[in-house]
Structures are given as structure tokens and as C-alpha cells.
Amino acid sequence: MLTFFRQLAKSPVATVLILVLAGAFAIWGINDVFRPVQRDAVAYGDGVTVTTREYNGAVERALNEARQQSGQFLTKQQAHEQGVTAQVLSRLIAQKAMNRIAAQFGVQTPDKMVAEAIRSNESFKSQVTGAFDAETYRSLLQQNGLSEAEFEDGLRTGLMRRQLISATAAGVRAPTSFADFIVAFQSERRVVTVADIPPTVAGQIPAPTDADLKKLYEESKPALKTPEFRKLTLILARNADFEAKVEIPEDKLKAAYEFEKDKRGTPETRSFVQITASSQAAAAEAAKRLAAGEDPAAVAKAVGGTAVPFDKTARTAVPDAVVANAVFGAQAGQTIGPVQGKLAWVAAKITTVTPGSAPSYEQLKPELRANLARDEGMTLLNQATKAYDDAVAGGETPEAAAKASGLVVEVIEVVDKEGRDDNGQPVATLANAKDILETAFAAAQDETSDFTPLGDAGYARVRVDGITPEGVVPFEKVKDRLAGAWRSREISKRMEAVVTRIKEAVAGGKTFTAAVQAEKLRVGAKSQTITRQQAGQGPAAQLGGAIFAAAKGEVVAAPIQGAPVLLVAQVEDILRDDPKTRPDLVEAARAQANELLTNDVLDTFQRAAVASARVKQNDKLIASVLGLQTEDDAAAAK
């Protein structure tokens, strides 16, 4: 239904409307089309200018809205790649173009209308009084990065644009025939009888002859093409091979544990109250009173100092390291002082001590060993690759040099550029080795590469030992597969022949049920009524589509999705609601048609407004506003 109205919008009538509108806009004037380009405009044209400030603000608001809806952070780069920023710019251009036309037609928005729109906006009302609140108004604008002048100017042009749109769409009303058509279409139901044709109707399928298979092979050649294959020799410098050679002594593991344990666990924390004083004597007096159990605030007041509480604070979070050492050297309930801190004399009383926790040596040992082995293994790998290069430079063959330096030689007999063998299975060594594959398929026969990243596994040199061009899978290799395909095709032909005989029988005067039973098949659903919605659901949706495309009395067939069964059905009757008896449906359909036509008219009007403005975009400035990396930037980075 939507497609029908969309096609209407693209009809010759709509095209004429666009031309008329464009001509009218031209008559009203394009007097500023030859004005100099504004350097601060990401888009500009006849009466249309989108500044960097407007564009950036609109993009930020779109990103904030997207983040609130999805709960995920969206960068400008991601928004650009997803087309969000382009949509924002298109919307701004369309708004500006419509503003231009509204101004040319003399549409104005008085201050009173703008003020009323602001005061009636629910977002700007106080939650307590329900009336307009100026502070709420200013706060919301600030949160959205808008000044009052910017918002009110945008609101004014929006109201002006709305008046223009209302005038344009006024009087748009779908004919009654449209509503009647919609009611008939949406209420349509089909009465059908359905039977199924299983593959067993095909009977015994004889084995195909070589001639049958070769004919099918010729027909199937486009689907049997093989990619270019290459034979490779890899000189592998893998991290895991060298890490396995590393022996880590126990004392080194324990030293690493001592270094790491505090980072991995929960630090010890202390709760205490600290009193800063102006002199050593005052701090000593404060310590004495704290030890006696006096209130810290009273003690601080008596000695002219300040009481500062610390709750479950780690040593590193105490601002003064001298005080931290003193506090963490005392026990719970103990008072310290006087202590000369970095800035003042201090007394403190420790109230609680929460011990820290750390993973045990045995818990961390495997990870510590892996980390140390990785570091030392990398050193051994670098030494081995250097030794290999020196040996090859000295005249050794790659294979001999690899063996002498502890590298691994692996021959891959056949692989395509996707890393699969001739059976379509991935080659394990080349999994996640995109760089190696690209290097191998860019090289010539017998060419050897430098050491290239082998994914995350290490490095490898690759030599191309052979190239097999693109071709077709040999007949003998797919003969068994072709035999299965031939058998399936023969079964389908025989099932379709049954459908043809049923159709011919019905056309000759037999009932659908009699025609089905003559084929020794069982009739399933008899005289079942289905709606359009039901027809489009489930594994038999393809049959449903055929049923609603058929005429009354017609026989149609379609397969069940995911099953080797063919369904055949006859459309016995077509039922529709009479629009005269359902005025409620007619009115709802008319409203639907009106909305579709109105939207199409407005869309046509807006496209004509944008076209008449002849807008151009400054792509370099857009990239700058969004902080995108241009091709020049990427080249410079390389």
C-alpha cells in the first residue's frame, strides 16, 4: 500500500509539480546565488547558509540523543560512518531552504507567537507551579548548547516554516475511492484448500549416467569456479615456540610476585581523624587530648587547629606522605603526634584498621611465568631472526638457515587469498594472518618476503613456490556431489509434474479434492479462510504470497521453507468487507491516505525548495568540524 502512494509521488504529475514549484521559486528570485562563498559555511547556496557553529551544535545534539537512546557512547567519526552527520546536514539545509521560500512568500512570525510557543512548552514549566519558569528555560537551553537568541530565532523560523507547510498541504484530501480501495485491500481474505506433495511421489530415481552428470557439470560451471591457489613456504618465527624454551627460576618468579601483589590486591585502609596545629606544642596537646578520648572537634578548637576525618583511606590517598607513614605505622585505637608533616604539625587518632588482601603466590605464578616468558621469548625470537638473516646473507638456503637458527619451516601445498585450502577449509597456520596472505598473493613466483606479522602469533617470511590460476573444479572431484544434485533435481521435476497434472485436472472440470486424490495424495486443510497477515507468516509464507496473487478458482504451488515438501492449494473464494457497511474502516483508511498524500506533497515541496537553492557543501570544512581523518591526513601519517 505504501509503495502505491510512493509511486504516485514519483508519477508524471508529481514531476510536473516539482517543475512548477522550481519555476515559481526561480521567479521569486535567486539574487544571491553569485555572492562570494562564506568561509564559515559547511553548506551554502541561494539564500541558504549553514554555519560551522550551527552544524556542530546540531551534530552534538544528535549524538547526545543517540547516546541517551542506546546507552552507548557514539563518536563523531562513528556517527559520520553511520550516516548520522549527513542526515543532520540534510535536515539543516532543508530547513534553511524552506525558510527562504517562506520569507519570499511573505510568511511572518510575530514576537507574540514566539513568546506563546515558549510559554506553552511543557519542558519549560516548573514542576511545582506548572507555569513557565524562566530559570528552567535558560537551564535547558544551556544543557543543549543554545543561547536564548539562537533558540528563539530557530523557533521563529520553525513556526514560519510550519505556516508555509500548513498552507501547502491545506486541502489535500484523498478521494473516497482511495479509502474504499484500502478497506478492500486490508480486509481481503482467501478461502483455500491445501494439500502437500512429499518427495516420495517421485518414486524410484535411477542412477544418473555419465552423460547426465557431464551435462549438469557444464550447466553448473559458473558455480564451480575455483580461485587462484598458491603453494607457499613459510619461515615461522612464532612467539609460542620461543616462549616454550624459556626457563624462569623460582627466585625471579618470587621477586615478580613481590612487585605485583600489591597492585593486584586490595590495599590496607585506615579510618582516622587528623588535627593540624600551628606548633609542635599545640600538636602534642592535641595528641594528649585525643588519647584521653575527647571529641576531635573540641580538641581542634582548643588548640586552634583543624580536625580532618579520613574514612577507610589507603596509604596512597593520604595527601601528606609523612603523616601517612606515621598513621600506617600505628595500631587501631592508638594516637600519634606530634608529627611534623610537610605543611603543618599533626596529631591523629586511628579508629579502625581494615587489612588489605592480595592473591597468593601460587595464584599469580602461572600468569607471572607467562609474562616473563613472553618478554624473554621475544628477545630469543629477535636473536633467532637476526641469526637467520645473517645465515641467508652468508649463502645458506632458507631451509638450512631456519634450522640452524631455531625457526620452523612449513610448506603449505595449496591456499587461496582467503586462507582456505582447495576443500574450502581454513589453513590453521594462516588463521588471522591477513598481512601474510596479502604479501603472498602480491608476490611473484619464487619471490621471498621480509619478516611479516603473523597476526598476533609472531612473524614469518613467505616464499611463493607455485601459482595455480583461477579455474573450474575438475569433473571427477565433484562427480558425487553432482549425482546428489541431479537426483534432487529429478525429484523436483516429478513433484512439479504432479502439480501440473492437478492444475490440468481442475481446468478440465474436476474438483481440487478429486484431482489431488487421483494422485494418491491427502488433502490437508479444507476451505480454510486466511488473512493477508496470516499468509505472510510461517514456513508456508511463499505459498501465502502465491494465494493472494491468484484469481478465484486458480491452483498455485510453493515449497515449505526448510522442508522437501511442495504445497499445492486452490483459491475457492475471495472475501472482502463492503466499504458501505464499514464507515469506521473507510474513515480510518481515508485518514491514512490523507497522511500519505500530505507527506508526499510536503516531501515534493521540500525537495523543490532545496533544488532551487542550488546548495553546495564544503567537504573539507565538514571534515574539520567533525575532526575526521582525511585522505591527506592518512597519507601524512604513513
Per-residue pLDDT at 17 exceeds 50: no
- Which cell numbers hold the place of 511? 474438483
* 494-525 confidence digits (pLDDT tens): 999 999 999 999 999 999 999 999 999 999 88
Residues 33, 73 within the same domain: yes
Is residue 37 in a domain? yes
CA 255 to chain centroid, in Å, comes to: 46
Is residue 6 in a domain? yes
Identify the pLDDT of residue 298.
Answer: 93
Cell 557514539 appears where? 74
C-beta separation of 486 from 478 below 8 A: no
Residues 631, 558 within the same domain: no
Residue with the larger pLDDT of the pair 507 and 130: 507
The mean pLDDT value of the chain amounts to 85
pLDDT band at 2 (very low <50, low <70, confident <90, very high): very low
Half-sphere exposure of 174 (CA within 13 A, CB side): 24
Q: What is the mean pLDDT of residues 616-625?
A: 88
Identify the pLDDT of residue 9.
Answer: 42
Q: Give the whole-number percent of the chain exceeding pLDDT 90.
A: 46
Per-residue pLDDT at 364 exceeds 70: yes
Report the predicted TM-score, pTM, of the whole model to 2 decimal places.
0.47
Q: What is the mean pLDDT of residues 201-216?
A: 93
Q: Report helix angle 12-28 to 84-104, nearest 10.
A: 60
**357, amino acid identity:** S
Q: Give the whole-number percent of the chain exceeding pLDDT 70.
A: 90
Cell 504470497 appears where? 545
Q: Which of 72-76, 88-92, 237-241, 481-485 has the lowest mean pLDDT?
A: 72-76
Decide which of 324, 357, 390 is a domain's last residue: 357
**547, amino acid identity:** I
Measure the CA–CA gap between 501 and 507, rounded to whole angstroms: 10
Q: What is the mean pLDDT of residues 244-269?
A: 85
Per-residue pLDDT at 433 exceeds 80: yes
Sign of CA dihedral 517, 519, 523, 529: negative
Closest CA to 572 of 500, 523, 621, 533: 523
Residues 14, 87 within the same domain: yes
Residues 393, 491 within the same domain: no
Residues 93, 209 within the same domain: no
Identify the pLDDT of residue 291.
Answer: 94
Is residue 583 in a domain? no
Cell 484523498 appears where? 174
Decide which of 427, 449, 472 is a domain's last residue: 472
Q: Report helix angle 475-507 to 210-220, nearest 10.
A: 90
* Structural domain that includes position 89: 2-172+596-637
28: how many CB neighbours lie within 10 A of its CB?
A: 15
pLDDT band at 170 (very low <50, low <70, confident <90, very high): low
Per-residue pLDDT at 74 exceeds 50: yes
Measure the CA–CA gap between 67 and 78, rounded to whole angstroms: 12
Q: Which of 187-191, 350-354, 441-445, 538-542 has the lowest mean pLDDT?
A: 538-542
- Which cell numbers hold the place of 220? 553448473
pLDDT band at 536 (very low <50, low <70, confident <90, very high): confident
Is residue 165 in a domain? yes
Q: What is the 3-state secondary structure (H, E, C) of 145-182?
A: CCCHHHHHHHHHHHHHHHHHHHHHHCCCCCCHHHHHHH
Measure the CA–CA gap between 81 and 77, rounded to whole angstroms: 6
Identify the pLDDT of residue 165.
Answer: 66
Per-residue pLDDT at 117 exceeds 90: no
* 44-70 confidence digits (pLDDT tens): 999 889 998 888 888 888 888 887 777
Report the domain count for the chain.
Answer: 4
Identify the pLDDT of residue 614.
Answer: 92
Per-residue pLDDT at 594 exceeds 80: no
Helix (H) or strand (E) holding 392: helix 361-393
Is residue 429 in a domain? yes
> CB neighbours of 584 closer than 8 A, spacing ≥ 6?
none
pLDDT band at 169 (very low <50, low <70, confident <90, very high): low
Closest CA to 203 of 487, 569, 557, 583: 487
C-beta separation of 197 from 558 below 8 A: no
* 287-340 confidence digits (pLDDT tens): 999 999 999 999 999 999 989 999 888 888 888 889 999 999 999 999 998 999
Half-sphere exposure of 216 (CA within 13 A, CB side): 20
pLDDT band at 631 (very low <50, low <70, confident <90, very high): low
Identify the pLDDT of residue 632.
Answer: 54
- Which cell numbers hold the place of 403? 634450522
How many residues can be counted in the chain? 638
Measure the CA–CA gap between 619 and 636, rounded to whole angstroms: 19
Residues 542, 620 within the same domain: no
Is residue 325 in a domain? yes
* 373-426 confidence digits (pLDDT tens): 989 999 999 999 999 999 999 999 999 999 999 999 999 999 999 999 988 899
CATH label of the domain that carries residue 446: 3.10.50
Residues 154, 130 within the same domain: yes
> CB neighbours of 441 closer than 8 A, spacing ≥ 6?
228, 230, 417
Q: What is the mean pLDDT of residues 453-468?
A: 92
Residues 414, 318 within the same domain: no
Q: Please give the C-alpha separations between residue 583 and each of 188, 339, 589, in angstroms, as whole numbers.
A: 16, 92, 10
Residues 91, 74 within the same domain: yes
Identify the pLDDT of residue 280.
Answer: 94
Residues 44, 131 within the same domain: yes
Is residue 257 in a domain? no
Per-residue pLDDT at 8 exceeds 70: no
Identify the pLDDT of residue 58.
Answer: 85
Identify the pLDDT of residue 1.
Answer: 41
Residues 51, 151 within the same domain: yes
Residues 538, 487 within the same domain: yes
Decide which of 450, 472, 494 is a domain's last residue: 472
Residue with the larger pLDDT of the pair 99 and 517: 517
Is residue 587 in a domain? no
Measure the CA–CA gap between 451 and 414, rounded to whole angstroms: 21
* 440-455 confidence digits (pLDDT tens): 999 999 999 999 998 8
pLDDT band at 16 (very low <50, low <70, confident <90, very high): very low
Identify the pLDDT of residue 39.
Answer: 62
Identify the pLDDT of residue 411.
Answer: 96
pLDDT band at 633 (very low <50, low <70, confident <90, very high): low
Residue with the larger pLDDT of the pair 186 and 13: 186
Per-residue pLDDT at 97 exceeds 50: yes
Cα angle 159, 161, 162 (rounded to 5 degrees) comes to 60
Closest CA to 498 of 548, 557, 542, 549: 557
DSSP assignment string, 14-39: HHHHHHHHHHHHHHH--TTTTSPPPT
